[in-house]
């Protein structure tokens, strides 16, 4: 089995899922008071790359929703791109498109987790600047999303709003739906007023203020990973106890139990599309079907693919494990492919066969660095065969004697 697309896809997925972080040296152009806190926020993985500059610019509602998702992903210990799937598995009701004017992943995820709301008439208004009272509400909702209940240890999680009436002279200008949140974030030391006596609820919020206050939420909120009291995401993976069970189901049964399927790519042209499952992160189901046509309910899977983000063992083997690269060391066969830099290790489990795809430790260079000439394939393969260990980045489960593995 030689699939030249596999290494590229793995690298691409890793790049998408690990798209946070800026080096300390790159945090420039911000206010002097924000530098150290921005560095702390970055170290915690709270700053997405696409909003990691122009710190004093106003932050939009969509960007603030993205920041909330990054915060929650860090709180729950999952990648931002997997948060929605993980949350679904603990029973949240998901509206696929909650707003008519915004359908991005971060907006959908923040809405599903109860963090954001629209501005009326089914609109989110994603590109408008967020107001300070909206920021306070989202910060407060983000904290609530990490809490199992609205109370902590029998006490009230949110303070009474009465305290801000005497603190802020513009209390009457704060919308009624935001007053409890303003009381909470100001009481927790997360978000201050623009002065000792003024909150300025309708004022705008900057990028640096956004990430500094998310850092302060991390440190000061009554429920936070820093205190060790964040609720657990007890994801059931859609009650999928054994991924191999998918091989005995048709597409209609899979949709009914594990939610919608989305085609991610097709191997070897259009004839082998691989679909992700809405409620089971890290699993792809590959069908032998024309990807240009709708997938019928009676289609039967050919292969179940477990990626690094699946994070669970199958028959004692987990994506991400180190594996010996040679046949005879617990593997039935080992196929070295000099076209894509992968090793394919196979092992039989009754009527099932497992193929583990290993992408290291010897990547395939296209040009020899010393000579500037194309790599000598035989010499490279000899080097690869002399290697002992590599990391499994994909596991593929198929039927023994199947037509496609």
The series of mean pLDDT values per 10 residues for the chain, 405 residues long, is: 36 38 66 95 94 95 96 88 64 56 88 88 94 96 75 54 84 94 94 94 97 97 89 58 91 88 83 85 89 89 87 84 70 70 84 85 53 62 64 89 59
| 12 inside domain | no
Per-residue model confidence (pLDDT) at position 58: 96
Q: Flag whether 68 is in a domain.
A: yes
Number of structural domains in the chain: 2
pLDDT at 25: 43
Which pLDDT value is given to residue 381?
A: 61
3-state per-residue secondary structure call for 261-312: EEEEEECCHHHCEEEEECCEEEEEEEECCCCCCCCCCCCCEEEEEEEHHHCC
Point out which residues pair with 349 in neighbouring strands. 352
**By residue range, what is the domain housing residue 283?**
237-399
Residues 6+ apart with CB under 8 A from 37: 211, 212, 215, 216
| pLDDT at 337 (0 to 100) | 67
Same domain, 258 and 215: no
The pLDDT of residue 86 is 64
- Does residue 8 form part of some domain? no
Q: State residue 145's pLDDT score.
A: 87
How many Å separate Cα 341 from the centre of its chain? 27
d(CA 69, CA 80): 6
User: Does residue 256 sit within a domain?
Assistant: yes
User: Looking at the structure, do residues 209 and 257 belong to the same domain, yes or no?
Assistant: no
Residue 184 and residue 260 in one domain: no
What pLDDT, on the 0 to 100 scale, is given for residue 6? 39
Please indicate, yes or no, if residue 14 is contained in any of the structural domains: no
Final residue of a structural domain among 189, 220, 251: 220
Residue 269 is predicted with a pLDDT of 75
Please enumerate in sequence order all residues whose Cβ is within 8 A of that of 314, keeping only pairs 6 or more positions apart, or say none.
242, 243, 244, 306, 354, 395, 397
Q: Which of 53, 67, 50, 57 is nearest to 138 (CA)?
A: 67
Q: Report the pLDDT value the prediction gives residue 402, as an integer from 0 to 100.
A: 62
Cis? peptide before 361, omega within 30° of 0? yes
Both 311 and 192 in a single domain? no
Is residue 2 one of the residues assigned to a domain?
no
Residues 370, 282: Cα–Cα separation, whole Å: 39
């Amino acid at each position: 089995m030689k699939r030249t697309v596999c290494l590229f896809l793995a690298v691409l997925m890793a790049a998408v899922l690990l798209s946070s972080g800026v080096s300390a040296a790159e945090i420039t152009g911000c206010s002097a008071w924000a530098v150290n806190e921005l560095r702390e926020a970055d170290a915690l993985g709270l700053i997405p790359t696409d909003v990691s500059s122009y710190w004093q610019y106003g932050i939009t509602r969509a960007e603030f929703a993205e920041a909330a998702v990054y915060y929650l992903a860090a709180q729950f210990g999952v990648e931002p791109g997997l948060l929605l799937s993980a949350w679904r598995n603990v029973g949240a009701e998901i509206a696929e498109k909650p707003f008519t004017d915004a359908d991005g992943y971060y907006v959908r995820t923040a809405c599903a987790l109860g963090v954001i709301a629209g501005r009326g008439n089914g609109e989110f208004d994603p590109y408008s600047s967020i107001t300070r009272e909206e920021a306070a509400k989202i910060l407060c909702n983000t904290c609530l999303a990490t809490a199992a209940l609205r109370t902590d240890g029998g006490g009230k999680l949110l303070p009474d709003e009465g305290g801000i009436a005497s603190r802020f002279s513009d209390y009457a200008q704060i919308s009624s739906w935001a007053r409890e949140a303003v009381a909470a974030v100001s009481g927790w030391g997360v978000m201050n007023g623009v002065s000792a006596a003024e909150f300025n609820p309708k004022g705008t919020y900057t990028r640096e203020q956004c990430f500094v206050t998310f850092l302060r939420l991390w440190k000061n909120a009554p429920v936070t990973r820093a205190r060790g009291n964040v609720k657990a995401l007890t994801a059931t993976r859609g009650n999928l106890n054994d991924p191999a069970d998918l091989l005995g189901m048709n597409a209609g049964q899979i949709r009914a139990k594990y939610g919608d399927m989305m085609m991610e790519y097709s191997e070897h042209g259009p004839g082998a599309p691989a679909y992700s499952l809405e409620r089971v992160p890290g699993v792809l189901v590959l069908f032998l079907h024309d990807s240009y046509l709708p997938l019928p309910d009676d289609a039967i899977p050919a292969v179940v693919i477990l990626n690094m983000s699946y994070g669970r063992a199958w028959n004692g083997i987990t994506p991400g494990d180190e594996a010996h690269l040679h046949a005879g060391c617990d593997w039935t066969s080992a196929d070295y492919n000099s076209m894509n830099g992968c090793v394919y290790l196979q092992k039989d489990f009754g009527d099932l066969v497992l193929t583990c795809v290993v992408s290291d430790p010897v990547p395939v260079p296209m040009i020899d660095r010393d000579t500037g000439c194309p790599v000598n394939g035989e010499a490279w393969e000899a080097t690869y065969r002399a290697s002992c260990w590599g990391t499994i980045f994909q596991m593929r489960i198929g039927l023994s004697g199947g037509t496609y593995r």
